[in-house]
Amino acid sequence: MSAPIIRVEELTVSLNTDDHQRNIIDSISFDMFPKEIMGLVGESGSGKTMTALSIMQLLPKTIKICGGSIWYEDKDLLKMTSREIRTIRGNKIAMIFQNPRMALNPLMRVGDQIARAVCLHCEVSSEKSKSMAVELMSQVGIPDAESRARSYPHQLSGGMAQRVLIAMMLACKPKLLIADEPTTGLDVTIQAQIFKLIKEIQSEIGVAVLLITHDFGVVSEVCDRVGVMYAGQIMEISSVIDVFTNPKHPYTQRLLKSILRVDRKSDLDTNKALSPISAVFDSPGCRFASQCDCVRPECLWERPKIYTDSPGHSVYCFNYSRDNK
Amino acid sequence: MEPLLRVKDLHKHYKDGRYTVHAVNGVNFDIFPGEAVGLVGESGCGKSTTARCILMLEQPTHGKIIFKNQDLAAMSEHPLRSWRRFFQIVFQDPNESLNPRFNVKRTLKEPLFLHGLYQDSHQLGELMKRVTLEIEHLERYPHQLSGGQKQRVGIARAISTSPDFVVLDEPTSSLDMSLRIHILSLLRRLQREMNMAYLFISHDLSTVHNLCNRVLVMYLGRIIEMGTSEDVFNNPQHIYTRALLSAIPIPDPAIKRKRILLQGETPNSRDIEVGCSLQKRCPYVRQECSFPVPYTDLGKRHLVACVLAGSEIINGS
Ligand SMILES: Nc1ncnc2c1ncn2[C@@H]1O[C@H](COP(=O)(O)OP(=O)(O)OP(=O)(O)O)[C@@H](O)[C@H]1O
Ligand SMILES: Nc1ncnc2c1ncn2[C@@H]1O[C@H](COP(=O)(O)OP(=O)(O)OP(=O)(O)O)[C@@H](O)[C@H]1O
Ligand code: SF4
Ligand SMILES: [Mg+2]
Ligand SMILES: [Mg+2]
């Protein structure tokens, strides 16, 4: 297997308020390989966005990285100067967001915004960058690209605005694209178009994609591998096939049981409700312990060690790691 | 059995500058006592507007809302007020629908007082138990409750007057998946215990499939297909329904499906035209589609407004 393009090692991120510090990301580790699509799933508040923003070094002011490393091609992003970061962010690593309109400048025509991205990344005249912008727009499936290039962001639908962001991303030919719930709020028929586009681009330019979602349907159809997060911890990482056919972690198993499918009826009365994630952040052990059916005494005060079930399938749970010692 | 609710030729138009938005454009359906009917469709197709008109939160532009043999649309404000205890609504976002300055007790008491149904605090305790909340929660304010708890308060408020009919407008869309299934099972239990009819609005077809007996599929202000959940989900006959269903990703890597991709974006409900509203996006479009398309009844009231309904072209291959 080729070397990972990004390596997150024991990343810990904390939110400091007046009276206490809370690790909203608690020592997570994962690798991403070139050209793969890796999903990051988990319920609201589990830390998916903060993981992405840590890689981008775009965390809000109140939130600080307080441990770990993020390796990009042998360099630790966390030890770089802000100028060095800028050569990587938006260049080698790009991100698209849940609300594409917010990421665009509301006062500037979208064609000009793409052209500016082109100028930043390729050495071309501004004249040339404008025609390249229109080309990129039709490449991402925007009809009438020439006239749409003159639109302002508020004149575009959510789906079109997301295509514009994808076109800007294409201008810089990144090695890693982070997509944070890029279709939330869009209709499913538009969602299907956007994911088709992301997959096409991914295979064309060979970019790796970290796709954040809470939809296991999307994981199944779009991703190669997936990491399952709960309350700031990664619980399980595996291939997509394994997560559905051989889920190991009690949380993953619970989550999979709560999925409703459109192609068949499920039993609605099977699961107990989980408590809100915010209630479990201060536990020193496994953050799923208070809701886990397989809980052991050590789960409450010690962090589970990694257990490798098979190559590429890791689980953080004492039910397995105990036998592994 | 007599329908509890009959919606007849419902229209709701809005003025938007020099345009007219045909948010609801000639909708007909019945709801029978105790049944759960799903209303699905993409954003902006007119689901919430339909609901607001049925509940007379807005005056329809045209049409009849016959509830227990009375036309609500023709009723004046005063008698309508006393009818309101029989039909209620639960909204998508409990943060918007609950008053942040009211504790749960006050939120629940209000509709009961309004309809002269309030007896004692014991009644509120019973209501809390029904929706699996604790009595202590009565003293709490919305910011002291989790999302799932707030949504349960919204449900408790809606069922407090023992309505026959409840509209649920995306009640689980703001919830995480592990919570969603609990709210759905709660809703289903309440429906059975209290024999209420539901109109369950959602763009999440998986949820509707799991809760509803019948489904209405809406596109640009019209219902383009309706039938039992079984018929619509297992044997959809409108191209739009088929495209919509095929776009939903299935959480099972063993399943590979053929996707029907619609061209372009959902048009605006002010660009309405004669004929099938899907004609500009439909990969199967033909000449007949530009004339008004009547419903084809495929049996068991499975109605489909598509010229290809039941044909080889859809069902062959
Ligand atoms: N700007 C902020 N200030 C303080 N805390 C925050 C901020 N943004 C997020 N958090 C907290 O950090 C934790 C992780 O949040 P994060 O946004 O990463 O979750 P997420 O998995 O992306 O959830 P969602 O699915 O809702 O987007 C949560 O407990 C959240 O409350
Ligand atoms: N008060 C209003 N004034 C003008 N237009 C309106 C008004 N309310 C709704 N509309 C328009 O009517 C159409 C239908 O809106 P409606 O809210 O019923 O859709 P919906 O199916 O509930 O969508 P969603 O899934 O996004 O909630 C939309 O085009 C909307 O912009
Ligand atoms: S580590 Fe313990 S509490 Fe956590 S999932 Fe495993 S068994 Fe459950
Ligand atoms: Mg997020
Ligand atoms: Mg709505």
Per-residue pLDDT of chain A (325 residues; tens, 9 = 90+): 689 999 999 999 999 887 788 899 999 999 999 999 999 999 988 999 999 999 999 999 999 999 999 999 889 999 999 999 988 988 899 999 888 888 899 999 999 999 998 888 878 888 899 999 999 999 898 888 999 999 999 998 888 999 999 999 988 889 999 999 999 888 898 899 999 999 999 999 899 999 999 999 999 999 999 999 999 999 999 999 999 999 999 999 999 988 999 998 888 776 666 777 777 788 889 999 999 999 999 999 999 999 998 999 999 999 997 654 4
Which bin fits A252, alpha (ψ -120 to 50), beta or left (φ > 0)?
Answer: alpha
Determine whether the shortest distance from the Cβ of B23 to ligand 2 is under 6 A. yes
A179 and A19 in contact (C-beta within 8 Å)? no
CB-CB neighbors (< 8 A) of B252 in chain A? 220, 244, 261
pLDDT digits (tens, 9 = 90+) for B108-134: 999 999 999 999 999 999 999 999 898
Task: Identify the pLDDT of residue A32.
Answer: 96
Q: Which of A228, A236, A248, A288 to mutate to test the pocket of ligand 3 (most atoms within 8 A of CB)?
A: A288
Q: B65 CB contacts (<8 Å, ≥6 apart)? A: B5, B6, B7, B8, B10, B53, B54, B56, B71, B72, B73
Angle between helices A250-257 and B177-194 (to 10 degrees): 40
Using CB atoms, which residue from B184, B188, B251 is nearest to A217?
B251
Chain A interface mutation, best of B263, B265, B271, highest count of A Cβ atoms under 10 Å: B265
State residue B111 phi and psi, 5-degree precision. -65, -30
Using CB atoms, which residue from A192, A214, A264 is nearest to B261?
A192
Count of domains forming chain B:
1
B221 and A213 in contact (C-beta within 8 Å)? no
Using CB atoms, which residue from B177, B184, B253 is nearest to A268?
B184
Give the pair of three-digit tokens for residue B94.
Answer: 């409990």
The CATH H-level superfamily of A6-92+174-321 is P-loop containing nucleotide triphosphate hydrolases (3.40.50.300)
State residue A50 phi and psi, 5-degree precision. -65, -35
Q: Which of residues 46-105 of B touch A (CB under 8 A)?
A: none
Question: Which domain does B180 fall in, by range?
Answer: 5-235
The average confidence (pLDDT) of chain B is: 92
Share of chain B above pLDDT 70, in %: 99
Q: Residue B42's domain is classified under what CATH number?
A: 3.40.50.300
Task: Please give the C-alpha separations between residue B214 and each of B30, B114, B246, in angstroms, as whole numbers.
Answer: 11, 33, 19
Please indicate, yes or no, if residue B306 is contained in any of the structural domains: no
Measured distance CA(B204)–CA(A195) in Å, rounded: 18
- Pocket residues for ligand 3 (CB within 6 Å)? A 249-251, 286, 288-289, 292, 294-296, 299, 304, 317-319
Q: B141 CB contacts (<8 Å, ≥6 apart)? A: B100, B101, B102, B103, B104
DSSP code string of B120-183? -HHHHHHHHHHTT--GGGGG--GGGS-HHHHHHHHHHHHHTT--SEEEEESTTTTS-HHHHHHH
Say if B147 is an interface residue toward chain A (CB within 8 Å).
yes
* A20 alpha carbon – ligand 5 mean position (Å): 40
Measured distance CA(A164)–CA(A168) in Å, rounded: 6
pLDDT digits (tens, 9 = 90+) for B247-261: 999 999 998 888 888
Say if B179 is an interface residue toward chain A (CB within 8 Å).
yes
Mean pLDDT of B223-240: 96
| B196-B200-B202 Cα angle (round to 5) | 165
Mean pLDDT of B88-92: 92
For the purposes of burial, counting CB atoms within 10 Å of the CB of B22, is it exposed (0-12), middle (13-18) or buried (19 or more)? Answer: buried
CB-CB neighbors (< 8 A) of A242 in chain B? none
Say if B263 is an interface residue toward chain A (CB within 8 Å).
no
Q: B154 CB contacts (<8 Å, ≥6 apart)? A: B90, B91, B94, B97, B98, B171
Measured distance CA(B186)–CA(B183) in Å, rounded: 5
- Which residue has 């709701």 as its token pair? B12
Task: Identify the pLDDT of residue A325.
Answer: 45
Measured distance CA(B204)–CA(A217) in Å, rounded: 12
Please indicate, yes or no, if residue B266 is contained in any of the structural domains: no
Coil vs helix vs strand at A306: strand
Task: Identify the pLDDT of residue A322.
Answer: 60
- Spatial CA neighbour of A171 closest among A110, A109, A259: A110
- Spatial CA neighbour of B306 closest among B317, B316, B284: B284
Give the pair of three-digit tokens for residue A179.
Answer: 């997509």
B274 and B263 in contact (C-beta within 8 Å)? no
Measured distance CA(B102)–CA(B261) in Å, rounded: 47
Give the pair of three-digit tokens for residue A25.
Answer: 């990301």
Please indicate, yes or no, if residue B270 is contained in any of the structural domains: no
Measured distance CA(B38)–CA(B164) in Å, rounded: 16
Q: Cβ separation of B250 and A262 shorter than 8 Å?
A: yes
Residues β-bridged to residue B62: B11
Measured distance CA(A114)–CA(A129) in Å, rounded: 8
Task: Identify the pLDDT of residue A271.
Answer: 63
pTM: 0.92
Say if A253 is an interface residue toward chain B (CB within 8 Å).
no
Please indicate, yes or no, if residue B133 is contained in any of the structural domains: yes
B34 and B195 in contact (C-beta within 8 Å)? yes
- Identify the DSSP state of A154: G
Task: Identify the pLDDT of residue B11.
Answer: 97
Please indicate, yes or no, if residue B251 is contained in any of the structural domains: no
Give the pair of three-digit tokens for residue A11.
Answer: 């990343």
Please indicate, yes or no, if residue B285 is contained in any of the structural domains: no
